[in-house]
Amino acid sequence: MSNDKDKDEGGIPLSVKGATDIDPWLEPFAQELLRRRTIADNWIKKFDETEGGLLKLADSYKEYGLHANQNDHSISYKEYAPNAIGASLIGDFNDWNHDSHKMQRDAFGNFTIILPPRENGDFAIPHDSRVKILLTLPDGSKVARLPPWIRRSTQPPKEYKNPTFESRFWNPSKEEIYHFKNARPLLPTSLKIYEAHVGISTPEPKVGTYKEFTKNILPKIKELGYNTLQLMSIMEHAYYASFGYQITSFFAISSRFGTPEELKELIDTAHGLGIRVLLDIVHSHASKNVEDGLNMFDGTDYYLFHGGSKGVHDQWDSRLFNYGNYETLRFLLSNLKFYLDEYNFDGFRFDGVTSMLYLHHGVGEGFSGNYNEYLNEFSKVDREAVAYLMLACDLCTEFAKLQKTSITTIAEDVSGYPTLCLPRSSGGVGFDYRLSMSIPDMWIKLLKHSKDEDWNMGDIVHTLTNRRYGEKCVAYAESHDQALVGDKTLAFWLMDKEMYTNMSTLTPLTPCVDRGLALHKMIRLITHSLGGEAYLNFEGNEFGHPEWLDFPRIGNNDSYHYARRQFNLIEDDLLRYKFLFYFDCAMNNTEANYGWLNYPQAYVSLKHEVDKVIVYERNNLLFIFNFHPTNSFTDYRVGLNGTGKFKVILSTDDEKFGGHGRIDKAVEHFTTPYNWNNRNNFLQVYLPTRTALVLAKID
């Protein structure tokens, strides 16, 4: 595996020593870490030898698929279909003639053709016209398929008998091509992520568009203080209700929302507002669709996928990629670079990483945190998938260096895989962040099963702070998962009995709504400030959206009633939703002005189970939470290491946030040099029930 000269005095391979230095408990697994790293490193060497490097391999999207030469108006087409013995390009342009545009096959299973321009100089294939590839299989049968590298795929009108998606040749005129005007924003000190779905981003029961999102939602994201937009369900998927998780065309963006040029305009406009844009990338699996997907593309079940049962995810009813296959790596790595190059995305949120990491895909597994579950040489980890994730992170790192920019990578992993967010140079997988998926589960469990007076402050703090040293986390109180039908958002758990009757400011504030507004703010603030190095919110949840999310499907008679976000509610001055919206703005902007995300973990000085009070310091700020359902405290003493004069810079009890205005923010708080809760000083505050305060030094 490695020579003695490649090891330190303790026998630890130097190429993974960075990881073992951060976490000495990894030392017994150093050889396994090295084995996994070596798989990725060997791929890098192979790409250097055969392709000219990783980025050159990832440029394959410029060669494969359909391409228009703007100089001579010819069109080139290249497709990989190793099982086919013949191929033809068919479409509207040749009246779907099977024989007029036959393709040439090379020894590697690649089919190519060049179409010269028409006599009048026009492209042989009209812009946005339908095309397919017709493959001849070894038994002589013929199958028509959508080109896997196609950049535009659309669904025919409902009155058509065949609803399967159709591939189209996207080649807009020079006047129609969108040209980016704004550079990528610099990487902010802290990521505040707004997770959004274009199709639901309208109050009307319909599919929203890129244009509408650009005009109506981007300004709200800016106002709220989020600096990063995470777009879900962008890669083309035939089934809308899958929330974008059954991908059929990996290089095509969802045509439901508009055109490629309109998505480019959305991203460019976001950049102009200083908002970076991440793509939810789905490389964990693919749709089982045959007619308009990758499945059985060339007549085999192992085209880019594992064959047989290994290539099927039973619970997701989808196909699983073979990450040890050269052409699979070409396809997926090119897919990443395509979105970086063509759309100027600023990074990726990798979906379904847990499924990728393990041969059991996380199904029926409870991860205890024992390192043997992840790093034992006999553990059920898919080493080839781990290597692919390393290569994906390498690609983003190399691209960022070449473009002198920053590319962000986030892993959706529920298993707690060690080293996932350590740099590749240290022996890690290389992600920048992982999602803290245990945090929303904790809040839902508390609201669902525990009375307020039974909440355990120690358990809350433990869940919010229980993360691996040196590996950054994205904290969130709830995401799209909690908003989907079958679950409940925090606002629903808190106020569902009265959200349709007592959210008007013209009606008295009821105990239910009062509690809901108070805890909604407190839960968000403590998650924001204690739970990680970045923060995420799903659109609409910031103002307590009153309904779950349910896409049109047979079970609801294809209704769009719940497939929308009612942003109009915050614009109604007579409704209380505005209070939560204003608080979210204040929370994000306070963080922007004073900073706590992406700073060292907080020091928690108090977890008082009787008073239900939590106190901690982070980046010289003092956070105080009173979760007690009835008790308020006068001159409550809290410890801190800072000295001098402090003021309240954020209070959840402000009237403009739907609170009772019990905190006078003009009051100055002075420290006293006396050891309290293992801190060198203390100060005293008025701490009303269900209120959180943030204090900063003012001299």
Which residue, chain included where needed, has tokens 């001159």? 635
> Quick check: 44 and 54 in contact, CB under 8 A?
yes
Residue 351 annotated among the catalytic residues of the structure:
yes
User: Which of 262, 373, 394, 412 is the catalytic position?
Assistant: 412
Integer Cα distance of 641 and 660 in angstroms: 30
> Quick check: 354 and 412 in contact, CB under 8 A?
yes
Residue 571 annotated among the catalytic residues of the structure:
no
- Quote the crossing angle between the two packed helices 383-403 and 30-50, to the nearest 10°: 60
Half-sphere exposure of 422 (CA within 13 A, CB side): 24
> Quick check: 67 and 111 in contact, CB under 8 A?
no
Integer Cα distance of 586 and 578 in angstroms: 12
Which residue, chain included where needed, has tokens 């693919």? 286
Cβ neighbours for 265, distance < 8 A, ≥ 6 positions apart? 178, 210, 211, 214
- Token pair of 191, please? 């990521």
Q: CA torsion, points 534, 539, 543, 548, in degrees to nearest 10?
A: -120
3-state class (DSSP) for residue 555: helix
> Quick check: 241 and 247 in contact, CB under 8 A?
no
> Quick check: 532 and 474 in contact, CB under 8 A?
yes
- Quote the crossing angle between the two packed helices 438-449 and 511-530, to the nearest 10°: 160
DSSP 476-542: -S--HHHHBBTB--HHHHHHTTTTTTS-BTTS---HHHHHHHHHHHHHHHHHHHHS-SEEEEETTGG
Cβ neighbours for 147, distance < 8 A, ≥ 6 positions apart? 65, 66, 77, 79, 131, 132, 133, 167
Integer Cα distance of 340 and 322 in angstroms: 23
User: Which of 195, 280, 351, 432 is the catalytic position?
Assistant: 351
> Quick check: 131 and 148 in contact, CB under 8 A?
no
- Token pair of 290, please? 């045959």
Radius of gyration over alpha carbons of the chain, in Å? 27
- Token pair of 74, please? 């010819």
- Token pair of 574, please? 């007579």
- Which residues are marked as active site? 351, 412
